[in-house]
Amino acid sequence: MTNGEKYVAAAYLVVFLFVLAYVLIMATKLTRLRRDVSELVELARQREEKVEPKQVVVG
């Protein structure tokens, strides 16, 4: 590999690495979103439990 070829490879790799970094950031973001969603699911479930006993009493 000549010097010029090395630099060309480096330039293309940099672009690739940027896209990879983007994927990494997106992955952390998705993890956070998943955590938020499971928190919300938990909240929704608690609500349901709160509502249900009442229905039992009434019924």
Site of interaction with other proteins (CB under 8 A): 2-5, 7-8, 10-12, 14-15, 18-19, 22, 26, 29-30, 33, 36-37, 39-40, 43-44, 47
Determine if residue 2 is left, alpha or beta; phi over 0 gives left, psi from -120 to 50 gives alpha, anything else beta.
Answer: beta
Tokens of 37: 């969603």
Residue 56 Cβ vs other proteins, minimum distance, rounded to whole Å:
22
| Cα 42 from Cα 39, distance rounded (Å) | 5
Q: Toward other proteins, which CB reaches closer, 14 or 58?
A: 14
Q: Toward other proteins, which CB reaches closer, 23 or 53?
A: 23
